[in-house]
Amino acid sequence: MAAIQLSGLISGFDWKSFVDQVMDLNRAPIKSLQTEKSTNSSKLSALDNLGTRLTDLQTSVKALSAEGLFTGRTATATNTAWSTSASTGVATGSYTFDVTQLATTTKRSGTSDISAGLSATNDVSGVTLASMSTAAAATAGNFTVNGSQISVALTDSLQDVFDKISTATGGDVTASYDSATDKISLNSASAITLGASNDTSNFLAVARLANNGTGTIASGTSLGTSSVTTPLANSRLRNSITAVDGSGNGNFTVNGVSISYNVNSDSLSAVLARINASSAGVSAAYDTAADRVVLTNKTTGDIGLSASETAGGFLDAIGLGSGSTLDRGNNAEFTVNGGPSLTSTTNTFDASAHGITGLSVTANSETSSTVTVDSNTTSMRGAIDDFIKKFNSVQQYIDDATKITSSNGKVTSAILSNNREIQGWQSTLRSTAFSAVNGLSGTISRLENLGIDFTPGTSQLAVKDSDKLDAALRDKPSDVEAFFKTATTGFAAKFSSFTATVLGSSGTGSDGLLGSQKNTLTKGNTSIDTQIANIERQLTQQRSQMEAGFIAMENAQATIKNMQAQLTSAFANTSSS
């Protein structure tokens, strides 16, 4: 007969429900262990949170002993456009700077008109508006002379334009080009009036023609310009570059730095960019308006700017040879507190110029400004306020995590309420903050000398007298520094020692006193997991044994019932016979 496993099928007794009830009763120790583990986990979380706050406190304590915190300086100028800075230890006080001359840069300007003119001759019938090598490209449209409009196209030659001017003005105004000066001239027996608000061509501007109230108007400057992007050999420079080798290679120096070029491959802009990128310390630029190249020192002051090359080279071609002019820069001139006249090659005056170690003043105007150097009380106060905030955070958290409250006869205990060690830490922190620093010669030996004290009835620090604290930071920074920074016995040292004991050498709470508590709880949870696993294994075995017994009972009863049925059937057949 197959085994009967349906609960109560034969016996009528729901033994499976009975087994479940027995198992639930036997699982009571597991539930108790799980509750204990959950409590341990909550304590671990609380200790982690406390560790985070203690680490923050430790960081704020280190900030109180940071180098330069109490010797830091700020510098402000009455002229807010000036910039100032003061390094650690600068003598406090006021310094009046009277600047009579600002430093400027030295420039070397090449000669003007280095480019070839619009035409080699006065005949400009072959020069179209489209091909004119002017600083700006001419545009088609119309322009006005003496109230008459002249319409021009880019395909018109310059001579065509001259003829149109004459025609439009009935011969009153004639135009011509002078190849010697590279200028266009307009001539009339009476005053010439150029332009109108509805002109659409820029010809007059490109030709640099402007009203002067007379009958003779000439271009303000020469008109031809060089091409800065084509190779030097074809760039339309007025003077050819001849001091090169057979391959077109040449070389010149700027401030003693060698610059090489090739007339067949390098453009004017490429060579100027090479100068700018070199260590010569100058900026090179092409001035299209004056048609010249200008070199400018990148640093200010009356310092030299030299450029040299063999005659007939690149420098001669761009006007930076013997014909160039040197405009020497100025040194800044100033006095401090009415003292002797001082000079500086830059407009930033440091100790090398004024002799005040650590003070830097940058002037941008020729005027007088008073620079005041003070203790950096903002940074000092910020560090102290941050310490108070982090200290209070630790104290408040311990208060909340260890408190016991009663309401309507019901007592509620916080997660760490029975942790006497942590309550001891709170007490140590409080006494450390309250105690005096011994061996100091200054006026500050405890927090209350800085206007800081505990709020009555709490473990919270507060700035009770802000004016007193600010005055101490401003007037006695060395005393404040000694209070916080004295090695071993100073306020910061005592706090650092205690937090290191609690947080351990790693500073994270993984070791030290805090780490020891966390390790104990972690090991406890590991032990609980082992106990639960052992009980679960025993319960599984017990369930199997009980279920096997009840199944055997069901099978036995089934067998008995089957035998009874057979006997009944046998006796019934005997009676019938």
Strand-pairing partners, residue 143, are: 150
Decide if 186 contacts 175 (C-beta within 8 A): yes
CB atoms within 10 A of CB 488: 8
Q: Tokens 């030996």 map to which residue? A: 445
Can you give the pLDDT of all 577 residues of the chain as single tens digits? 444 455 545 566 777 888 778 888 888 888 889 899 999 999 999 999 999 999 999 999 999 999 989 988 999 999 999 999 999 888 889 999 999 999 999 999 999 989 999 999 999 999 999 999 998 999 999 999 999 999 999 999 999 999 999 999 999 999 999 999 999 999 999 999 999 999 999 999 999 999 999 999 999 999 999 999 999 999 999 999 999 999 999 999 999 999 999 999 999 999 999 999 999 999 999 998 889 999 999 999 999 999 999 999 999 999 999 889 999 999 999 999 999 999 999 999 999 999 999 999 999 999 999 999 999 999 999 999 999 999 999 999 999 999 998 888 888 899 999 999 999 999 999 999 999 999 999 899 999 999 999 999 999 999 999 999 999 998 899 999 999 999 889 999 999 999 999 998 776 657 889 999 999 999 999 999 999 899 889 888 888 888 788 778 777 877 887 888 888 888 776 665 5
SS (H, E, C) 94-147: EEEEEEEECCCEEEEECCCCCECCCCCCCCCCCCECCCCCCCCCCCCEEEEECC
Paired with 286 in beta bridges are 293
- What is the distance of C-alpha 303 from the center of its chain? 36
Rg over CA atoms, the chain: 49
What's phi and psi for 350, nearest 5 deg?
A: -115, -170
CA-wise closest residue to 347 among 283, 305, 300, 303: 300
Q: Is 388 exposed, middle or buried (0-12, 13-18, 19+ CB in 10 A)?
A: middle
pLDDT given at position 360: 97
DSSP string spanning 185-253?
Answer: EEE-SS---B--TT----HHHHTT----SSSEEE-SS------SSSBGGGS-BSS---SS-TTSEEEEE
C-alpha–C-alpha distance, residues 253 and 78, integer Å:
45
pTM tops 0.75: no
